[in-house]
Structure 1
Amino acid sequence: MTSIKLKFRPSTTPGKEGSLVFQLIHGRSVRRITSEYKIFAEEWDEAAGRIVLPTLSSPRYVHLVSVESALQWEMNRLKRMVEESEKATGTVNLDEIIANFSPSLDAQDSVFNFIRGQIRHKKQLGKVRSAETYRSTLYSFMHFRGGIDLTFDMMDDGLMELYEAWMLNAGLTRNTTSFYMRILRTNYKMAVEKGLTPDRHPFRHVYCGMDKTVKRSITFIEIKKINDLDLSRSPNLDFARDMFMFSFCTRGMSFIDMAYLKKTDLNNGCLAYRRKKTGQLLTMEWTCQMQDIISKYKPNATRYLLPILTHEDGSERRQYQNQMRKINRQLKEIARMAGLPLPLSMYYSRHSWATIARGKDIPLSVISEALGHDSEATTQIYLDSIKSSEVDKANRMIMEGL
């Protein structure tokens, strides 16, 4: 019979964290494995042989829960190694087990390594934006875990509720926490499909939906104000305004799709391109308003239609990001000049097109197709925020009578 227990070894320096050690006893043989985890003496219950968890409000709570779950995983792994040794040889060689035991997780079992693999896969497929969102999620989850990895079968509803609470306490909005949760859930489902864990439904008690967003649309009159501004003496502002208007004229085309539009996408009065986000093919009539914007700028030597990416040297992604920041900064000034008390950005063109289309009683299915949404539910999120603003307007009219 082999005994495996967790022990605490206090630090010789007062006030310092001590080490957590696995003690293995078989017959008269005693061996110890020092884990990579350390805790303070007051965080250890010697009689129970376990970590003492503080209150939920304690800044050490999440860290200690992570340590506890990681130690449990390592304890279970040691037990499996002992059982396998007994089945194979009829005895247990502690020295051999210690030599084969590694506290680090196997790449296949590790949540962190699994997501890293998905990031590499996304990059290979050319889905750079998806790779970036996966990386952001991984860094967030790693921060929450204090860098302590885990296996998918250690993910349960309690852990996910803790992660959600940690993000909300850090000031993240529900839409942001939901965004990270949905990416984690996608990776968890892939792990289930690969047989890495049975489905324990760890996301059943956390929010994975999409809240109504703050209204980010302006009226057609305000769009026209922006279009009619004389910015001839400010080339940077003029360019930012042109990109905003091009997006609006192309049914709220996203900036990344604008940046990567190719000259070959324009043929016989028709613009056809695939959305970077979904790969969906969108086609539209090429209008005089679009042509007027293109005609203002000299043809560039690249394959791209708009003067956003000006060098084909591998830095296209960085060029796109830099241009996005610059244009959004210029749009704030343009909003001020047009008398619009709001933080104008490229995204307003997309919301505004949807708002104006709805105001003209264009069917939801048509708006959804125009925006390139994969479902009408996504389009409805845009329009729900518009509905709430109309209710607010009605309420103000009623309040005026008080």
Structure 2
Amino acid sequence: MTTVRLTFRMAADSSRKGTLYFQIIHRNTVKTLSTRCRIFADEWDEPNSRIFIMSPVSARRTATLLGIRNRIRHEMHRLNGIINKYDCSGLPYNTADIIHCYRNSQPAVNHSLFAFMHRHIRMLSAQGRLRTADTYRQTLSSITTFRNGADISLSMLTVPFVESYESWLRSRRLCRNTTSFYMRILRSVYNKAAAEGIVPKGNPFATVYTGVDKTSRRAVSLADISRIKALNLAAHTPLAFARDMFLFSFYMRGMSFVDMAFLRKKDLSNNYVVYSRKKTGQQLTVRWERPMQAIVDAYGPSSTQYLLPVIVREDGTERSQYLNAMLRVNRNLKKIGVMAGIPIPLTMYVARHSWATAAKEKDISIGIISQAMGHDSENTTQIYLASIKTGKIDDANRDILNGI
């Protein structure tokens, strides 16, 4: 009888990753076979010969461990299939024969790019990383269109493929930042596959653009904000709602639409709003001002836990409600921009940049703006978090609101 078990060999330096091995036992002969998968010592469950999946370090490490476990299961299945074939043949064999067959045979399953991305989309969604899951979903949709629905193996993510995909994206007249977005997500997919040992470590993205270009002007002046505010729009219409959401974002120091949508009633207490940004987890505190209350009062109390009427049902469709509302609001903001004579297309993103620009023109320091918005560099924001008092930001915001 032949058995296969997973073992772990610790690195000489306990702070470094050790290697997972298969131990193949046949007729009192034991041989080991490296899996090329590496984990830390505290991620190994010795009594049960398995990986601890839930990493206390980060959700990203947990996802990596899940990938390694799936890889191990697949390779274990391959080994057991080889052993079963030898057993059924009735011919004598030894551990060296098993290893030779394993190393010289093609994997039974070709690692599909589409299946791999679908798996990580599910994992990201389960971890609550919905924004990242959405970026993976968008990229998968783009690649599916590029390939006319034909899947490929992860091993085909080579320089020629990546360059061909980028050329196709550019042929669709997408700007460089958009093509770079898809390239960065695909690069992340490749790196995850490399971490699982599916593809070799490397950089097939070295010849394509993965940077971020400086964008054109996306801010409007305080005079523009005042014209938007002064528009005579019928109450409770889609245009009025879009205008109010734009103004609320500006009043709240350029608050992103997703944070507005999920802002809860209990986040407002003692004349302050305290919330955590969905994008970064950074906690922000904003002093509540009269213009903010006026918008909330205009729509009355909602039947949900949320302060604004963006999510109106708590039935598991909250994220899709927010996404659909954002599309409608941005569509109507473009109409409002034309009505107010705004020189650039109006979107919720413009409100965020406009507050930053107004703050800078009021001679508010870059440090205060950085803390207030998490603007430009998240690393810079974290540096300022520990040293800048939030009261200065609130005074700056009041000064801006008094100017419209």
Q: SS at 2:178's partner residue?
A: helix
Match of 1:121 in 2: 123
Gaps of 5+ in 2: 1-77, 87-92, 382-404
CA contact (8 A) 1:365 1:376 kept: no
In 2, Cα distance between the equivalents of 1:378 and 1:160?
A: 32
User: TM-score, normalized by length of structure 2?
Assistant: 0.64
Q: 1:246 to 1:324 in 2, by over 3 A?
A: same
SS at match of 2:208: coil
CA–CA distance in 1 between the matches of 2:112 and 2:328?
40
Q: In the alignment, what sits opposite 1:67?
A: none
2:335 maps to which residue? Answer: 333
Contact 1:179 1:208 in 2 (8 A): yes
Aligned residues with identical type, % of pairs: 48
Q: For residue 179 of structure 1, give the secondary structure of its aligned residue in structure 2.
A: helix
Confirm or deny that 1:299 pairs with 2:301.
yes
CA shift for structure 1 position 373: 4.4
Letter in 2 for 1:265: D
Counterpart position of 1:173: 175
Q: Which residue of 2 aligns with 1:137?
A: 139
* AA in 1 matched with 2:113: V
5+ residue gaps in structure 1? 1-76, 380-402
Distance 1:358 1:274 in 2: 24
**Aligned residue number for residue 311 of structure 2:** 309
Report the AA paired with residue 286 of structure 2: M
Letter in 2 for 1:307: P
- State how many pairs are aligned: 288
Judging changes above 3 Å, is the alpha-carbon distance between structure 1 residues 161 and 286 closer, same or farther for their aligned structure 2 residues? Answer: same
Provide the rounded CA distance (Å) in 1 between the counterparts of 2:197 and 2:343.
Answer: 53
The one-letter code matched in structure 2 to 1:88 is D
Larger Rg: 1
Q: 1:355 to 1:313 in 2, by over 3 A?
A: same
Which of 282, 285, 290 matches 2:287?
Answer: 285
What residue identity is the alignment partner of 2:118? Answer: R
Post-superposition shift, 1:343?
2.4
Residue 356 of structure 1: how far off its partner (Å): 1.6
Q: Distance in 1 between matches of 2:374 and 2:359?
A: 14
2:271 matched to which residue of 1?
A: 269
Give per-residue Cα distances to partners, 1:93-114, cap 9 Å, x unaligned. xxxx9xx986x62xxx333222
Task: Please give the residue correspondences for 1:344-363 in structure 2 after superposition, counting only pairs within 5 Å.
Answer: 344-363=346-365
User: Which SS does the other structure have where 1:138 is aligned?
Assistant: helix
**What is the DSSP-based 3-state SS (H/G/I as helix, E as strand, rest coil) of the residue aligned with 1:296?**
helix
Change in 2 beyond 3 A, CA 1:199/1:343: same
Contact 1:155/1:202, CA 8 A, preserved across alignment:
yes
* Matching residue's letter, 1:197: V
Q: Deviations over 1:157-212 (max 9, x none)?
A: 22211111111112222111100111111122222222222222111111001112
Q: In structure 2, what is the equivalent of residue 155 of structure 1?
A: 157
Q: Which residue of 1 aligns with 2:97?
A: 88
Using a 3 Å threshold, how does the CA distance of structure 1 residues 349 and 284 change in structure 2: closer, same or farther?
A: same
Tell me by how many angstroms 1:306 deviates: 0.6
Change (3 A) 1:370 1:279: same
TM-score with structure 1 length normalisation?
A: 0.64
By how many angstroms is 1:233 displaced?
5.6
| 1:322 counterpart = 2:302 | no
Question: Is 1:254–1:350's contact at 8 Å kept on the other side of the alignment?
Answer: yes
For 2:252, the equivalent position in structure 1 comes to 250
| 1:355 Cα deviation after fit | 1.6
Where in structure 2 are the equivalents of 1:94-109 lying within 5 Å? 105=110, 109=111
Counterpart amino acid of 2:225?
A: I
Which of 164, 167, 171 is the aligned partner of 2:166? Answer: 164
AA matched with 1:343: P
Cα deviation 1:254-288 (Å, max 9, x = unaligned): 11111111111111122111222222222221122
Tell me the distance in 1 between the aligned counterparts of 2:129 and 2:348.
22
The one-letter code sitting in structure 2 at the alignment partner of 1:204 is A
Q: CA RMSD in A?
A: 3.0
